[in-house]
């Protein structure tokens, strides 16, 4: 291990690595495609399609993440648990963007620092599953693994993995990116027009007054600065927005991993910021092998069963030269486990002097099932995990530099609690997720307010 190697510059290309070298390792959570020729055809086609992002955007994001590591920014990463092909439409995309922009405004205003905005979208189509198959009424079929692989209907035909779905996923991701970029470039994110971000259904939210007061304060501040400087200040009419997804389906990721002119190394050009899920984080597994060769900033989900030594070994594999901004660790422990599971990891990483950005995902350790069969999460547990995370980092002398949430701009009832005190009975009103339960708009905004309250305490 390279335990004594700190902040070595310049960083180098990974040794003995290619975008496909992961194929010599065990790749878990992959579909078994019935037709190898069809798979090869699809990956070849993918390899020739235009990229979704550019290397200079990726490098700029890495620079911003390095600032977050240094305590100068806060990361807001959020979106659906999984996107699906039928929900690639303008309302859903713009509503999700509105929530993220409103949350980032709450964070910028409350934390007094810039926010790095990253969506879980434009490629979040593959899902890890706890079982390879699903049984209903005595019938066993392969599990649904996300729209990029198969289809959720419970029929044998729908569940067959189809490599052409990777081409559709690329196209839907490109449409999503195109719309987000057009909105941002067209002034949607302009701080002079905060009313653009309002969502119709929340006029009577219990949080509306707090939010409107903040909007008023931001509006006054912008006007004051502009009066003072006799014109526009800074770059208030646009923001940066980045994309991320779980790099789960390796043929899809590898096919879009490329070299670009005037840059060394390899970039995954399907997203700015891929992450490794908790179930695919084995040190000797294919996902760690694939990710160690990328120049993109990368993230790793860290669950409660990881030991400090295991974590340090993966950190070494993924960021051997301790490059600033390169590696994010997203802990997802659960409100009941974080106090025990997190401090030894924080202490080990700090003791070894490793540079990482620590982020809290308060969603995935808090999933439960209700008596009437819904997969849900209680807002109270999410809030508690966030608050504990701040406390644990403070006690360890490390910094919590971001939040990772599953959320939507729609009026769904998937998580219980929050300002409107949704109960188990409310879940049936508007439960739409085919995978994990998301925070609705109000709950997402409340989570942002809770972060501000806790971190400024
Ligand atoms: C997810 O982010 O949707 C997910 C499956 O998370 P994890 O890998 O942390 O369980
Ligand atoms: Mn999820």
Report which ligand 1 atom has the smallest distance to the Cα of 301.
9
Q: What is the mean pLDDT of the segment spanning 318-336? A: 98
d(CA 168, CA 86): 11
What's the pLDDT at 3? 45
Residue 334 tokens read as 């659960």
Say yes or no to pLDDT of 46 above 60.
yes
Residue nearest to atom 1 of ligand 1 (CA): 81
CA nearest to 158, candidates 149, 167, 166: 149
What's the pLDDT at 377? 98
* Tokens 């807002």 sit on residue: 379
What's the pLDDT at 235? 64
What's the pLDDT at 101? 92
128 touches ligand 1 (CB under 6 Å): yes
Say yes or no to pLDDT of 210 above 60.
yes
Residue 145 tokens read as 């693994």
What are 51-108's pLDDT values in tens digits?
A: 999 999 999 999 999 999 999 999 999 999 999 999 999 999 999 999 999 999 999 9
What are 117-167's pLDDT values in tens digits?
A: 999 999 999 999 999 999 999 999 999 999 999 999 999 999 999 999 999
Q: Environment class of residue 148 by beta-carbon count within 10 Å: exposed (0-12), middle (13-18) or buried (19+)?
A: buried
436 is in an annotated binding site: yes
Percent pLDDT > 90 in the chain is 82
* pTM greater than 0.80: yes
CA nearest to 398, candidates 105, 73, 69: 69
What's the pLDDT at 358? 98
Residue 386 tokens read as 């966030």
Judged by its nearest atom, the ligand closest to the C-alpha of residue 433 is: 2
* Tokens 């840059």 sit on residue: 263
What are 177-192's pLDDT values in tens digits?
A: 999 999 988 878 777 7
What's the pLDDT at 228? 77
404 touches ligand 1 (CB under 6 Å): no
Report the alpha-carbon angle 39-45-49, nearest 5.
140
Beta bridge partners of 404: 77
d(CA 438, CA 431): 9
What's the pLDDT at 238? 63
| Alpha helix positions (H), 245-364 | 250-255, 286-291, 308-318, 338-351
Say yes or no to pLDDT of 397 above 50.
yes
332 is in an annotated binding site: yes
304 touches ligand 1 (CB under 6 Å): no
What are 283-309's pLDDT values in tens digits?
A: 999 999 999 999 999 999 999 999 999
278 touches ligand 1 (CB under 6 Å): yes
81 is in an annotated binding site: yes
What's the pLDDT at 359? 98
d(CA 188, CA 191): 9
Q: How confident is the model at residue 7 (pLDDT cuts 50, 70, 90)?
A: very low
* Tokens 């049984």 sit on residue: 135
Q: How confident is the model at residue 374 (pLDDT cuts 50, 70, 90)?
A: very high
What's the pLDDT at 230? 78
What's the pLDDT at 232? 67
Query: How far apart are the CA of 451 and the centre of ligand 2, in A?
Result: 21
79 touches ligand 1 (CB under 6 Å): no
Report which ligand 1 atom has the smallest distance to the Cα of 279.
8
Say yes or no to pLDDT of 2 above 80.
no
Say yes or no to pLDDT of 5 above 50.
no
Which segments of 312-448 are extended strands (E)?
327-331, 357-360, 368-369, 375-376, 400-406
Q: What is the mean pLDDT of the segment spanning 270-282? A: 98
301 is in an annotated binding site: yes
What are 95-130's pLDDT values in tens digits?
A: 999 999 999 999 999 999 999 999 999 999 999 999
Q: How confident is the model at residue 231 (pLDDT cuts 50, 70, 90)?
A: confident
Report which ligand 1 atom has the smallest distance to the Cα of 330.
9
Query: How far apart are the CA of 405 and the centre of ligand 2, in A?
Result: 9
Report ipTM (2 d.p.). 0.99
Q: How confident is the model at residue 1 (pLDDT cuts 50, 70, 90)?
A: very low
What are 233-266's pLDDT values in tens digits?
A: 666 566 789 999 999 999 999 999 999 999 999 9
What's the pLDDT at 379? 97
Q: What is the mean pLDDT of the segment spanning 27-56? A: 97
332 touches ligand 1 (CB under 6 Å): yes
What's the pLDDT at 66? 98
More confident residue, 210 or 282: 282
d(CA 200, CA 198): 6
Query: How far apart are the CA of 238 and the centre of ligand 1, in A?
Result: 31
393 touches ligand 1 (CB under 6 Å): no
Handedness of CA 394, 396, 397, 401 (dihedral sign): negative
Strand, helix or coil for residue 18: coil
On whether the CB atoms of residues 75 and 358 are closer than 8 A, the answer is no
Say yes or no to pLDDT of 201 above 90.
no
81 touches ligand 1 (CB under 6 Å): yes
| 257-258 vs 267-268, strand pairing mode | antiparallel
What's the pLDDT at 236? 59
Q: How many CA atoms lie within 13 A of 383 on its CB side?
A: 18
């Amino acid at each position: 291990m390279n335990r004594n190697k700190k902040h070595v510059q310049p960083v180098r290309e990974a040794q003995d690595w290619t975008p496909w070298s992961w194929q010599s390792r065990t790749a878990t959570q992959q579909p078994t495609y019935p037709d190898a020729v069809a798979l090869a055809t699809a990956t070849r086609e993918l390899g020739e399609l235009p990229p979704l992002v550019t290397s200079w955007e990726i490098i700029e994001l890495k620079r911003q993440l390095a600032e977050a590591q240094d305590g100068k920014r806060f990361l807001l990463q959020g979106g659906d648990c999984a996107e699906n092909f039928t929900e690639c439409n303008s309302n859903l995309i713009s509503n999700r963007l509105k929530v993220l922009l409103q949350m980032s405004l709450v964070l910028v205003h409350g934390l007094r620092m810039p926010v790095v905005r990253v969506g879980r979208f434009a490629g979040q189509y593959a899902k890890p599953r706890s079982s390879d198959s699903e049984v209903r009424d005595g019938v066993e079929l392969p599990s649904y693994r996300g729209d990029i692989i198969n289809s959720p209907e419970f029929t044998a035909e729908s569940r067959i993995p189809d490599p052409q779905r990777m081409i559709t996923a690329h196209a839907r991701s490109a449409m999503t990116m195109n719309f987000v970029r057009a909105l941002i470039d067209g002034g949607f994110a302009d701080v002079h027009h905060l009313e653009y971000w309002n969502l119709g259904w929340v006029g009577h939210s219990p949080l509306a007054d707090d939010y409107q007061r903040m909007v008023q304060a931001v509006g006054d501040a912008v006007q004051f600065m502009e009066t003072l400087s006799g014109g526009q200040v800074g770059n208030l009419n646009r923001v940066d927005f980045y994309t991320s997804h779980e790099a789960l389906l390796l043929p899809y990721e590898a096919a879009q991993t490329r070299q670009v002119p005037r840059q060394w190394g390899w970039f995954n050009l399907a997203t700015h910021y891929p992450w490794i899920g908790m179930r695919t984080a084995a040190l000797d597994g294919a996902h760690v092998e694939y990710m160690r060769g990328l120049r993109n900033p990368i993230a790793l989900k860290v669950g409660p069963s990881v030991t400090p030594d295991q974590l340090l070994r993966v950190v070494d594999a993924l960021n051997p030269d301790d490059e600033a901004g390169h590696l994010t660790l997203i802990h997802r422990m659960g409100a009941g486990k974080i106090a025990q599971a997190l401090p030894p990891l924080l202490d080990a990483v700090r003791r070894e002097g490793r540079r990482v950005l620590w982020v809290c995902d308060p969603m995935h350790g808090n999933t439960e099932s209700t008596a009437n069969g819904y997969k849900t999460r209680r807002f109270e547990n999410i809030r508690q995990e966030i608050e504990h995370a701040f406390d644990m980092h403070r006690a360890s002398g490390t910094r919590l530099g971001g939040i990772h949430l599953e959320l939507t701009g729609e009026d769904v009832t998937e998580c219980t609690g929050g300002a409107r005190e949704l109960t188990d009975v409310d879940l049936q009103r508007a439960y739409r997720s085919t995978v994990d339960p998301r925070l609705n708009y109000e709950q997402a905004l409340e989570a942002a307010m809770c972060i501000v309250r806790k971190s400024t305490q």
